[in-house]
Structure 1
Amino acid sequence: MANSVPLPILDTQLERATTTVTAPSPQSSSFIIDSKNKTYKFQYSNIYFLRLSALRDFVQETAVKRWTGLPGKPSFVSRVLEVEPSKLCYIIGTVYMDMPLKPNVMEDIARDHSIPAPPPPPYYYSTEDQVMMEDESGRIQLVGERLKSERLVTGLIIGALGMETPDGKFEVADICYAGLAPQSSTTIKEESEDRMEIDNPSSEDLPTDEWIGVVSGLNIGAPSPTDGQIQLLVEYLAGEGGGTDDQLSASRISRLIIAGNSMAPMLVAGKGDVDAEGDKKSRKFGYDGTTFSSHPVVTLSGHLLDVGRVMPIHILPGETDPSGTILPQQPFPRAMFGPVSSFSSFTCETNPTYLNLSSDSLSFTRTLLVHSGQSLNDMFKYLPSPPHTRLSIAESTLKWRHIAPTAPDTLWCHPYFTADPFILKETPDIYIVGGQKRFMTKLVEDEGKDDGLRKRCRLVLVPDFSETGILVLVNLRSLRVKTVRFRGENMTGSLADGDHVDVMESSSSEPIPLVEPESSMPHSSNSSKL
C-alpha cells in the first residue's frame, strides 16, 4: 500500500484475558427444548395461565406496598369480573391489546389466498386501540388517561387500581408491575468500590479488567457486502491490527458473543423468474437450486476459525439466520461451521441464553442474559415513538419480569405446557439485546435494596455491525461500556490505496434521543487511524 506507516511492535508478549463459564444459577431458565416439551399438541393459551400464575403474587406484593394506606382503602379483588361499580379496588391480570392493525390469524385464514397478502404494517398502534385485562374468570376493558403514559403490550401481568364505571369498564388510576426480580447473592456481595466505579464516569479502567465483546448483525451474504469491515474486526480481536493501544485493549477481551443475524436472509426466486439474459431458470421439483449458495456459511466459518484461535466464542441464532424461527431458537448444528466446531471454546447457544462468567480478578460471578432482539423489535411495534424508545422498552421488560410478553400473540414461540421460560426469575447483571438500529445503554437500578445494596443491571442494545461497524465492549468488573467502530472509504473487500479505517471508542453516557431513527450512529469521543 502506498504511503503506508509501519505499525508499532510491542516489546512484551501480550496475554489474553480469560474468563470462565460457570454452572448456571438454579434461577436461570433453560431455553433448550427437551424431549418433554418437544411437542405441538398443547394450546398456546396455557402459556398465559402459566405466566399469570407465576407473576400474580409478585404483582400483588408490589400493589400492597404501593396502594396500602391510600384514601378510600382500596381492596384487592381476585377475579376481574367480580369488581363492584364505584368501589375503589385493584385487580391483577394479563393485558391484551385489541389493535385493528395487529396481525389476526383468523383474518389470514379467511382471506382470498389467490391474491397476494398485503405487507405487514410497520407498527400496530392506532387511535382505535383498546386495552383489556383478563384472568381465569373473563375479560374487562381498561380505560382512563393513566393508560396513555404507560408502556403496555399484550401479555403483560399488571395490577390496576381504579373502579368500575356504570358502563362496565374499569377506570384506571394507577398501574404497578412485578418489579425487578431478585439478584444473585454472589453479585450482591461485590465490593463497594466496584459499585462506585459504575457511577463515576471519570474513573479509569484497570489494566487487569476483563471485557466481553458483543457483535450482532454481521449479515454475511448481504447484497451490500462488508467483507473488509468484518476482516478488520477479526484482526482487531486477534490483536493483529491497529496500534499499541488497540492491541492492549484487544488483549483484555476475554470472549466474543455474536448476538444473532450472522448471515443475511437467503433470497429465493419466485416461480417463472428469469435470469439477467431473460432466459427462464430451470427448476427441479419446483425449486431453483442456483439460488442457494454456501458462500455465507463458508465465509462465516472462516472468520469464526480466526477468532476462535485466540478467544472463546458464543454464537446465537437470529431472525435472518438459517435456524428455526420460533422462540426460543435452538443452537446451530456445530458441524455447519467446519474446523472451529472442534474447539471446546466454541459454543452454539440458544436464543435467548444465560451465561454465568467468573475470573481470577472477580470475587463474584456475573450473570448475562443475551438475545438477538426479535422480542424487543416486536414490542416496539406496539408503542409510538416518541415518547417510547427501544431502550425504555427493554428497561421495562426487567420491571415486568418478562422478556417476551408478546409471545405467542404476535411473536412465534414454542407452546410450552409446564412453564414459561421467558419469565425473569432473577435480574441479570448484564442484559444484552442484539439486532437493533443503534447503540444504546443504561444502568438500571432498583428503588429497593437487598442487603444494603441495590439491584443493578447493565442494559446494552447492540446495533447491526453491517450498518454501523460497531463492536460493543462490556467491563465485567465495573459494568462500564465502550464501543469500537470499524469503517473506511471502501469496505467491500481489501483496502485500496488511500483508504483508511477509524477505530473509535465512545462512552456509555450518551444522551438518548426521543425519536428512534431508522439508521443512526452513536457519537464517538476518541479516534485513531490504522
Structure 2
Amino acid sequence: MELENMAQPSFILNQLKQNQQPVSKSQKLELDIKQSNRFSLPSSNQNIKAQNSYIYCIRYLSMSKRFKIEHLKDSNFVEAIQNIQNLNGRVKVMGTIFKIMKLKPYYFQQYTEIKIADSIQNEEICYLEDKSGRIKLEFTNCQLNLPNNTSKTIKVEDLITGIVVMIEGQIVGNNIVNVQCINLPDFIDPPIYKPLNQTTYVCLMSGLNYDLENNTTKLRHLIQYLQGNLYFGYGNEVSSNISLIIIAGNLYGKQRDAKSCLTGSIKQLQDFKQLYNQLQENIKGVDELLNELANIIPVAIMPGQNEPVSQMFPQSPLQRAHFGESFENNTKIKFLTNPSEFNLGNIHFVGTSGQNIQDIKKQQNIKDQQDIDLIEMNLFYGHLAPTLHDTLIQQQQFTNDPFIIEQLPNIYFVGNMKKFGTKRLSNNLRIISIPQFSESGIICLVNLSTFECFSFEIQ
C-alpha cells in the first residue's frame, strides 16, 4: 500500500517497453461505458423531501452492520447511547461523529472571507450520536484503528462530521467519555480485477478550466498528443492505445464574480454584457474542443464545481444543449453524473470531481496529509461523502443514502486535486488522485490490461 511514484518519464518509458506490442488505430479496443443509475435522481420520487435525520439514520443502520462481531459481544458494549447515563467505567458504543466548529464553513457561507485554515480551531467540540441521544467525546492519546490493520494517533481536529464509528473509552462525567480507541467499519473486498487481454489505456483528466482569456496552448498540445503528432517514440504507442478519455469535472473555467453586474448603471450594464459574451464564447469554445477530442477518442464527462448544473450532490449530467456542434458531428460523447459509477468491461469504476474530498479538508487537519491519503481514508470511512448535510449540500429526492460504499470498486479516482498520486490498496483496488490539467498539464493513464497507472505531462 505504499505510494507509487509514477510521475517520472523514466518510469513511463520502462513500463511501455515491457510486454507491449504496438497497436494500430484500426485495432484500438472500443470500450462501452455501462453507467449505474446509483447517483441519478429518481424520477418517480421528485416530490419526496427526505429529512436529514432520516438519511443519517439510514447511514447509521447500514454502517453499524460492518463492525466485527467480537466488538458486539464485548461485555462493555452498549447498544444505545442513552443507556450510558447510568453507567460507570469503560464502555464501547457505536454512533455518528458530529463536530461543532466555531467557524464551520457552511455551504451558504462559501462566498464569505472565512478561510479553511481559520475554521479548524482548538475550540472544536466532538459528539457521538445515535437516534437515542448524544455524548460528548474527549481525546487523550486516542488511537484510530483502520480497516487495513494499522492504527494512528488522532485528535479531535482529525475527525469529520458524518462518519460512523465505534468508540472505546472511560466515562469521566455526565454523558462525557474520554476516548482511548476508535474503530472504523470493516473493509469490503472489491470485485476481482479481470484485466483486458489487449493493451488498452483510459485517460483520466480534470480541471481543464477552459477560458478563452487564458492561454490554451496546453489544450492544443493535448489534442496533438492524442492524435499521435506529439511526443514521438513510446509516447505515441500510448496515445494510439487510449480507448477512452474521462474528464472528472471543471471542464469550464471559473467565471469572474457577477455581483457587480446586477444593478442598473450603464457601466454595470456594459460589464454584464461583457460577462455574457465571455460565457457564450467559452461555451462555444468548449463545444469545439469536445468535438475535436471526440473525433479522436470517445469522451465521457462528469460535471464539477464550475459547470452550469446544480451544485447539490450528486450532480446531474451536463445538458446536451451546450454541445450542439459535438452532438451534430459525432456520438462519441457520454455525460456522467458526479459522483459516477460505471463498468468498462468487467472493471468497476467509481469517481468524483473532487467536491467530497475538498469538503473533508474544511473540517480536518491536513497539514501532513497528501490528497491520495485523504482519498484512501475516504474509502476507509465506508462513505463517499460523509460531510453531506453538514458542510456539503445534497439533493433531497433520495429516500436512501447512495453514497454508502456497499461494494468497493476496482478503481476509485478523484479529480481536481493538487497533485497526481496513486496507491494500489490490494490486488483488486487502485485509487488515483487527478490534478487540474490547467495548472499541471498532467493526464493520468491507466493500463486496463496490467492495472498500472502513471502520469504524463503535456507542456
TM-score normalised over the length of structure 1: 0.73
Larger strand proportion of the pair = 2
1:406-425 matches, cutoff 5 A = 406-425=387-406
Any idea what SS the aligned residue of 1:31 has? Answer: coil
Report the alpha carbon displacement of residue 439 of structure 1 after superposing the two structures with TM: 0.9
From 275, 279, 291, the equivalent of 1:291 is 275
The reply on whether 1:20 has 2:10 as its aligned counterpart is no
- On the 8 A contact 1:214/1:471 being kept in 2, the answer is yes
CA distance, structure 2, for counterparts of residue 12 and residue 332 of structure 1 = 33
- On the 8 A contact 1:16/1:251 being kept in 2, the answer is no
Counterpart of 1:209, as a letter, is: T
CA distance, structure 2, for counterparts of residue 295 and residue 16 of structure 1 = 37
1:167-246 matches, cutoff 5 A = 167-184=174-191, 187=192, 190=194, 208-221=198-211, 223=213, 225-246=214-235
Counterpart of 1:252, as a letter, is: N
**How much identity, in percent, do the aligned residues show?**
26
Match for residue 339 of structure 2? 352
CA distance, structure 1, for counterparts of residue 259 and residue 240 of structure 2 = 48
Are the structure 2 counterparts of residues 175 and 295 from structure 1 closer, same or farther at C-alpha, using a change threshold of 3 Å?
A: same
1:418-477 deviations in Å (ceiling 9; x for gaps): 2101111111111110011111111123xxxxxxxx6x3211110111100001101113
Match for residue 508 of structure 1? none
Report the alpha carbon displacement of residue 104 of structure 1 after superposing the two structures with TM: 5.4
From 101, 104, 110, the equivalent of 1:102 is 104
TM-score normalised over the length of structure 2: 0.84
Match for residue 325 of structure 2? 339
Any idea what SS the aligned residue of 2:444 has? Answer: strand
1:258-298 deviations in Å (ceiling 9; x for gaps): 00001112224444799xxx972437xxx923311212121
- On the 8 A contact 1:16/1:253 being kept in 2, the answer is no
Larger helix proportion of the pair = 2
Any idea what SS the aligned residue of 2:43 has? Answer: coil
Match for residue 116 of structure 2? 122
From 422, 432, 456, the equivalent of 1:441 is 422
Where in structure 2 are there 5+ consecutive unaligned residues?
Answer: 1-21, 144-152
Report the alpha carbon displacement of residue 410 of structure 1 after superposing the two structures with TM: 0.1
Larger Rg: 1
The reply on whether 1:149 has 2:143 as its aligned counterpart is no
Match for residue 161 of structure 1? 168
CA distance, structure 2, for counterparts of residue 250 and residue 375 of structure 1 = 31
1:300-336 deviations in Å (ceiling 9; x for gaps): 1112111211221100110011111111110011131
Are the structure 2 counterparts of residues 272 and 312 from structure 1 closer, same or farther at C-alpha, using a change threshold of 3 Å?
A: closer
CA distance, structure 2, for counterparts of residue 78 and residue 320 of structure 1 = 44
My pick for the range that moved more, 368-377 or 237-246, is 237-246
Counterpart of 2:28, as a letter, is: A
Are the structure 2 counterparts of residues 417 and 87 from structure 1 closer, same or farther at C-alpha, using a change threshold of 3 Å?
A: farther
Report the alpha carbon displacement of residue 417 of structure 1 after superposing the two structures with TM: 4.5
The reply on whether 1:317 has 2:303 as its aligned counterpart is yes
1:136-183 deviations in Å (ceiling 9; x for gaps): 101111112216616421110111112322343112221111232242
From 93, 96, 103, the equivalent of 2:95 is 93
The reply on whether 1:480 has 2:452 as its aligned counterpart is yes
Are the structure 2 counterparts of residues 440 and 314 from structure 1 closer, same or farther at C-alpha, using a change threshold of 3 Å?
A: same
CA distance, structure 1, for counterparts of residue 45 and residue 349 of structure 2 = 25
Q: RMSD between aligned alpha carbons? A: 2.8
Where in structure 1 are there 5+ consecutive unaligned residues?
Answer: 1-10, 109-115, 195-205, 359-364, 446-453, 488-530
- Between 1 and 2, higher relative CO (CA 8 Å, sep ≥ 6) is seen in 2
CA distance, structure 2, for counterparts of residue 167 and residue 12 of structure 1 = 70
Counterpart of 2:89, as a letter, is: K
